[in-house]
Amino acid sequence: MAVEVVQKDTGYLLEGPHWDDVTNTLLYVDIFNKFVHSYNTVTKEAKKVEVHDAVGAIVTTTSGRTMACVGREVGYINWDAGKFETFCEIDLKKGTRFNDCKCDPAGRFYLGTMAVQDPSTSSEETKKGQGSLFCLSPDKTVREFVQNVDISNGMAWTNDHKTMYYIDSLTYGVDAFDYNIETGEIANRRQAISVPKSDGVPDGMCIDDEGMLWVALFDGWAVNRYNPKTGEKLRSIKFPTKNITSCCWGGANRDELYVTCAKHFLKPDELKEQDTAGSIFRVTDLGVKGVKCDVFKDN
Ligand code: CA
């Protein structure tokens, strides 16, 4: 197993990594700096586009475009023109913003939200219960599936399309829902994994082809691998900076784990010591393969 920095210090609160296996490109966002990033791991070409508001997530689509959640809108990123083009506006509750958002295996876009917080306060001080989990269908129908969410974060779907895993960070765990791929509906919420506070705050996650979950731990210096059927922690990958935000599978064989992290909340002395904060990591030789990042169905 090896951990390396593939892009050093590209932002402040890096989040939402999404691997585009058509172009071998890693996409990610820098939430408060309002940038979407793209990095081609083969050609090493890096691009970024500034958007008009806080950006929660970025994904690719079946038509080969890129879609991002910005402010109250979901829209396309036009990389050549450096512009955001609105697809639809979501009726977000006042004082909330998009956080982690992800597509399901049927091409719907699950949009998580949380309270807008004062950047100087900690995750624990986030105004609770303000967030939701919405589901945007390709026909632009929006449904609100979960309410009273503190910090809507990681999502993952099992290969058999029967279960969706979900992280509301301040519950310090990962929940499971029964998932219906035909309708997108989720039901029967229960806790699958409990994360002790001393391990950090569960943030973004992805799933491997053995059905195990890889959970990024904010304030936890790690991505942990768990068995969601037993709740058991199987493995912990350590990083040289503490606010690990999310992870996704990438690489030609989908066996590389790309990991984002943040400078957010780090004090000046911590920033000096953790000079990889705000970088993109790649973990290789894990002996595990991941699952493809799902894309929005727009054609
Ligand atoms: Ca997150």
pLDDT tens, 48-107?
Answer: 999 999 999 999 999 999 999 999 999 999 999 999 999 999 999 999 999 999 999 999
Ligand 1 center from residue 25 Cα (angstroms) = 20
Predicted local confidence at residue 20, as pLDDT: 98
Structure letter (DSSP) for residue 224: E
Distance CA 21, CA 251 (A): 8
Tell me the β-bridge partners of 224. 215, 236
What is the 216 CA–ligand 1 centroid distance (Å)?
A: 9
Among the residues of the chain, which ranges form H helices? Answer: 268-273
pLDDT at 258 over 90: yes
Q: Mean of the per-residue pLDDT values for the chain?
A: 97
Q: Please compute the mean of the pLDDT values over residues 229-255 and round it to a whole number.
A: 98
Tell me, what's the pLDDT at 108? 98
- Between the alpha carbon of residue 40 and those of residues 14, 44, 45, 46, 259, the distances in Å are 17, 5, 5, 6, 15
Q: Is 294 part of the annotated catalytic residue set? A: no
Q: What integer pLDDT is reported at residue 124 of this predicted model?
A: 75
Identify the active-site residue in 30, 150, 168, 203.
Answer: 203
Specify the residue for token string 């586009």: 49
List pLDDT tens digits, range 206-232. Answer: 999 999 999 999 999 999 999 999 999
CA of 16 to the centre of ligand 1 (A): 7
CB atoms within 10 A of CB 59: 23
Average pLDDT over every residue of 31-50: 97
Q: Which of 53, 158, 65 is nearest to 97 (CA)?
A: 53
* % pLDDT > 70, the chain: 100
pLDDT at 120 over 80: no
Separation CA 213–CA 200 (nearest Å) = 16
Question: 186 CA distance to ligand 1 centroid (A)?
Answer: 21
Which residues make Cβ contacts (< 8 Å) with residue 269, sequence separation at least 6? Answer: none
CA count, 13 A, side-chain hemisphere, 295: 17
Give 226 Cα–ligand 1 centroid separation in angstroms: 18
Cα dihedral sign, 277-283-288-291: positive
Opening angle at CA 75, ends 183 and 201, nearest 5:
70
How far, in Å, from the CA of 123 to the mean position of ligand 1?
A: 11
Distance 261 CA to ligand 1 centre (A): 10
Q: Report the alpha-carbon distance of residue 55 to residue 118 in Å, rounded.
A: 16
- For ligand 1, the distance from its centroid to the CA atom of residue 18, given in whole angstroms, is 13
Q: Are 152 and 99 in contact (CB under 8 A)?
A: yes
Burial of 187 (0-12, 13-18, 19+ CB in 10 A): exposed
pLDDT given for residue 16 in this prediction: 98
Cα 218 to averaged position of ligand 1 atoms, centre (Å): 9
Token pair 């779907």: residue: 157
User: CA 70 → CA 32, 83, 87, 284, 296, distances in Å?
Assistant: 11, 12, 11, 32, 16
